[in-house]
Amino acid sequence: MQEKLNKLEKEIQRSLAEASDAATLEAVRIKYLGRKGAINMLFKEIAQMSIEEKKTCGEAINKLKNDTVSELNLRLERFKDKSKGRFELLLPGKMPPVGHFHPLSKVFNEIVMFFKSHGFTVETGPEIEYDWYNFGALNMAKDHPARDMFSSFFIKEDLLLRSHTSPVQIRVMENQKPPVKIICPGRCYRYDAFDASHSPVFHQVEALYVDKGVSLGELKWLLSEFVKYIFGPKTKYQLRPSFFPFTEPSGELAISCMVCGGEGCSVCSNSGWLELLGCGMVHPNVLKNVKISPKKYSGYALGMGVERVAMVKYIIDDIRVFYNNDIRFLEQF
């Protein structure tokens, strides 16, 4: 019997080694492990033997059976793996689509990075604001005509969706003595029609620096650095007078048109310049409202729409494309 077993074991090993695919392996399985296979036949043979012999031979046959089963399964797995992971050197690889930031997030992050690198810290505040923080403290009393510049969403008589991020500046100055050097990034709301240049929800970043002896010259230097950082070192800019109730004097920064390079085209209405942001020296009344002495301290403030900066930077003529989630647009960045 032992001799028979040894012979069979060698035969099985050879057959397994020769099997080159799953189908051949299956034939080997049927031949040796099937109901009428060689191993089962051996079990039948030992039926006539004595109990002692049955025990020894039975154990040996069982061992052969188990070894064959595990060896067969192992080889079967290997065939499966091979067919799964076939590797063709000459086939071009598959490039999975790569995600990236939304153009607004990109510009937003760039602006925030610029100011952080100049020592500003980031402050945020509520999007639902009191009239006082959104207007009153910013030198715009209830009957101030400048309120018309901000078509605001009022929730109650005294409560509104903030129409700029300036209320954050007031909240910070209320709680912190100068030096105050902050930026306030965030969402703002205005009752505007959703058209090519307006959106009822948009993003702003405002910067504020209040300390002893802060001058307009410092603001001008910061703006020139900002233009270089966001639009490149060769971009020309212009600081011209403007009006805001919360700054005095007030200014407006424009950069040379990215399309025509200042020659004049339809994008810049033939002026050669594109408006970018508003700025100025903090109005003494604003400082008084937060109990900071305008005799001792001065400061500058500036604010920009992130959408506006992105539109000027990437020459986009319709603000709505930022919110449409059109992959053909988004993939260009």
Interface of this chain with Zn ion, residues 99 to 138, rule: CB under 5 A: none
Classify 61 as helix, strand or coil.
helix
Q: Which residue lies nearer to Zn ion by CB, 22 or 267?
A: 267
Q: What is the DSSP letter of 157?
A: T
In the complex, the smallest distance separating the C-beta of residue 98 from Zn ion, rounded to whole angstroms, is 33
The sign one gets for the Cα dihedral 215, 219, 225, 229 is positive
Q: How far is the CB of 222 from Zn ion (least distance, A)?
A: 25
Total chain residues near Zn ion (CB under 5 A)? 6
Closest approach of Zn ion to the CB of residue 198, in Å: 21
> What's the closest the beta carbon of residue 275 comes to Zn ion, in angstroms?
12
Beta strands in the chain (DSSP E): 121-122, 128-130, 153-156, 159-161, 180-189, 201-211, 237-244, 247-256, 273-282, 298-305
Q: Sign (positive/negative) of CA torsion 108, 110, 111, 115?
A: positive
Of residues 266-305, those binding Zn ion (CB under 5 A) = 267-268
CB of 271 to Zn ion, least distance (A): 8
Which CB atom, from 33 or from 267, has the smaller least distance to Zn ion? 267
Minimum CB distance to Zn ion smaller for 162 or for 308: 308
Residue 278: strand pairing partners: 252, 303
Helix, strand, or coil (residue 203): strand
Give me the least distance between CB of 262 and Zn ion, in Å please.
Answer: 7
The enclosing H or E element of 199 equals: none
Give CA–CA dist 227/313, Å, rounded.
10
Q: Please give the angle made by the CA atoms of 286, 289 and 291, to the nearest 5 degrees.
A: 115
Phi then psi for residue 320, to 5 deg, are: -65, -25
Task: Tell me how far, at minimum, the Cβ of 269 lies from Zn ion, in Å.
Answer: 8
Nearer to Zn ion, 201 or 259 (CB): 259
Nearer to Zn ion, 152 or 256 (CB): 256
**Taking the complex as a whole, how short is the minimal distance between the CB of residue 261 and Zn ion, in angstroms?**
8
Nearest Cα to Cα of residue 208 among 192, 184, 233, 176: 184
Largest CA-CA distance found in the chain, in angstroms, rounded: 118
Instruction: For the segment 240-269, give every residue that binds Zn ion (CB under 5 A).
Output: 257, 259-260, 265, 267-268
Q: Is the dihedral of CA 102, 103, 106, 108 positive or negative?
A: negative
Closest distance of CB 264 from Zn ion, Å: 6
d(CA 189, CA 173): 23
Single out the residue of 198, 249, 244, 195 nearest to residue 219, CA to CA. Answer: 249
Pick 161 or 268: Cβ nearer Zn ion? 268
**Is 316 near Zn ion (CB under 5 A)?**
no
Other Cβ atoms closer than 10 A to 326: 10
Cβ-contact 201, 189 below 8 angstroms: yes
> Which residue has its beta carbon closest to Zn ion?
257
The footprint of Zn ion (CB under 5 A) covers 257, 259-260, 265, 267-268
